[in-house]
Amino acid sequence: MKKTKNISLILFAIVALQIGCLSSLQFEPRNDDPKFLLGQDYFVRLDSTWTTEQAQKLLKIFKSISPDKSEQPSVWKISNEDFKSDIKIQAQIGLRSVTISSDVFVVDGSQSATSSDKRLFKTAVQFITENGTNRPVIKRILHERYGITVDVSSDVRQHVMLPAYAAHKRTPKAFSAIDNEDLMIFIAILEDFPQALHKMPQLKYVISRDEDLGDGAAAKAWTGNGFIEFKKSVLDNAPISEIRKILAHEKSHFLWTHLLPIQLKEDWIALGGWYEDKGSEHGWSTNKKRAEFVTDYAFEKNPNEDMADSLAYYLVYPEKLRACNMDKYNFIHERIMHTYGNRYISPDMLSGR
């Protein structure tokens, strides 16, 4: 047994030495070789199952998140097996073995807004955040990639949240921390928005409160004050898909208020048959039938809520939106997801100037 153990240690040392040498070999690095750069910059070694194109995609993701160089090397391979979250991480002495599903490189046609790059991104996030346990890294990704802070200071509460509540004659009692698991869900749905819409200067905080938010709301977008609040019991008990849908819905309100151009909103209003109606409880009515709206809420409220629910369903339950209104599905696909997925938005446009 001792002899077998010694052989295993020798084999491991050889692998570890091969990886460690990437940072010390005395030759001119190939700047265009993504496999070399992953090893040099992040101690990530890809085995022969990786193509150069796949390696380039992973390198691009690592650069976009800018993780610290791991003190523990990792060896990555691609497998046809199925894994939870598309990834399996096995820890060994001084080394991590990472296996990812080949499915991450296949575009799933049922998820129209989710490309293979986004699926690979979520897999990489699982690795970088140590399966969602490294809270500082999770918070850094949320802040740097999406412009969102989740652990707000008492000063922010005092000068941002409380004045907003006071203006609506509300007195909040209990702020609560958001669990790492929920923050990982946030990253997953925020990433599904087009890259140009990842970060909005008007949306700065997402918080949780352990009390009723009023009107039976699961969450609320304070578009004039820069934050979204969740009811804690919703985060604790709702299915993952519902949390994703809720956050997508609330972020959509920020898009409607601050970013989407007037013509686009007018076209959406026309598509939904909306017209201003002073006699209506919400100031709007529609001449379309209920069956053309993805939810009762979207049908009963106004164009803003119609857009928010429709966009959320496009991202989370696309088949339901297609089933009830293909025109709205196509509108969101072409006018928002495609347009902003292939468009650079200047800081002036994002700030509403």
DSSP string, 228-273: EEEEHHHHHHS-HHHHHHHHHHHHHHHHHHHTS-HHHHHHHHHHTT
Query: Can you read off the two tokens belonging to residue 277?
Result: 């109606």
Listed in sequence order, the DSSP H helices in the chain are: 2-20, 34-42, 52-65, 116-128, 135-146, 154-156, 162-167, 180-191, 232-237, 240-258, 262-271, 296-300, 303-316, 318-324, 326-331, 339-341, 347-350
Residue 219, strand partner residues: 230
Q: Is residue 101 assigned to a domain?
A: yes
Q: What confidence tier does 72 reach under pLDDT thresholds 50, 70, 90?
A: confident
Q: What is the pLDDT of residue 16?
A: 46
> The tokens 């986004």 sit on which residue?
118
Q: How far is CA 175 from the centre of its chain?
A: 23
Q: Is residue 121 assigned to a domain?
A: no
- Verify that 51 and 8 share a domain, yes or no: yes
DSSP one-letter code for 345: -
Q: Give the SS3 label for residue 113.
A: coil
Q: Return d(Cα 174, Cα 165) in angstroms, integer.
A: 13
- Verify that 290 and 344 share a domain, yes or no: yes
Q: What is the pLDDT of residue 64?
A: 87
Q: What is the pLDDT of residue 262?
A: 97
52-65 helix and 135-146 helix, angle to the nearest 10 degrees: 90
Q: What confidence tier does 342 reach under pLDDT thresholds 50, 70, 90?
A: low
pLDDT mean over 261-286 = 96
Torsion (CA) 73, 25, 79, 10 in degrees, nearest 10: -70
Q: What confidence tier does 109 reach under pLDDT thresholds 50, 70, 90?
A: very low
Look at 5-19, 88-102, 127-141, 322-336 and tell me which has the smallest mean pLDDT. Answer: 5-19
Q: Is residue 111 assigned to a domain?
A: no
- Verify that 239 and 136 share a domain, yes or no: yes
- Verify that 168 and 264 share a domain, yes or no: no
Q: Give the SS3 label for residue 347.
A: helix
Q: Return d(Cα 243, Cα 85) in angstroms, integer.
A: 17
- Verify that 278 and 211 share a domain, yes or no: no
Contacts of 278 (CB under 8 A, 6+ apart): none
Contact 179, 208 (CB under 8 A): no
Q: Domain boundary residue among 220, 244, 268?
A: 244
Q: Is residue 253 assigned to a domain?
A: no
Q: What is the pLDDT of residue 29?
A: 52
pLDDT mean over 191-202 = 93
Q: What confidence tier does 201 reach under pLDDT thresholds 50, 70, 90?
A: very high
What domain range includes position 10? 2-106
Q: What mean pLDDT, rounded, does the chain reach?
A: 85
Instruction: Return the percentage of the chain with pLDDT > 90, whole number.
Output: 65
Has residue 345 got a pLDDT over 60?
no
Q: What confidence tier does 169 reach under pLDDT thresholds 50, 70, 90?
A: confident
Q: Strand 205-209 and strand 219-222: pairing?
A: unpaired
Q: Domain boundary residue among 213, 244, 275?
A: 244
pLDDT mean over 140-168 = 91
pLDDT mean over 262-267 = 98
pLDDT mean over 109-115 = 46
Query: Can you read off the two tokens belonging to residue 59?
Result: 């390198």
What total number of domains does the chain contain?
Answer: 3
pLDDT mean over 9-21 = 46
- Verify that 205 and 267 share a domain, yes or no: no
- Verify that 133 and 239 share a domain, yes or no: yes
Q: Is residue 313 assigned to a domain?
A: yes
Q: What confidence tier does 251 reach under pLDDT thresholds 50, 70, 90?
A: very high
Q: What is the pLDDT of residue 91?
A: 87
Contact 11, 75 (CB under 8 A): no
Q: What is the pLDDT of residue 14?
A: 47
Look at 109-123, 249-263, 301-315, 330-344 and tell me which has the smallest mean pLDDT. Answer: 109-123
Q: What is the pLDDT of residue 352?
A: 41
Has residue 15 got a pLDDT over 60?
no
- Verify that 137 and 240 share a domain, yes or no: yes
Q: Is residue 250 assigned to a domain?
A: no
Has residue 90 got a pLDDT over 70?
yes
Q: Is residue 116 assigned to a domain?
A: no
Q: Is residue 14 assigned to a domain?
A: yes
When comparing pLDDT for 285 and 350, which is higher? 285
Q: Domain boundary residue among 106, 140, 158?
A: 106
- Verify that 100 and 19 share a domain, yes or no: yes
- Verify that 240 and 292 share a domain, yes or no: no
Q: What is the pLDDT of residue 100?
A: 93
Contacts of 1 (CB under 8 A, 6+ apart): none
Q: What is the pLDDT of residue 48?
A: 94
Stated pTM of the model: 0.84
**C-alpha to C-alpha distances, 49 to 38, 53, 124, nearest whole angstrom:** 15, 12, 17
Burial code of 137-173, b = ≥16 C-beta within 10 A, e = fewer? bbbbbbeebbbbbbebeeebbeebbeebbeeeeeebe
Has residue 177 got a pLDDT over 80?
yes
Contacts of 94 (CB under 8 A, 6+ apart): 12, 16, 72, 73
- Verify that 16 and 73 share a domain, yes or no: yes
Look at 44-53, 280-289, 334-343 and tell me which has the smallest mean pLDDT. Answer: 334-343
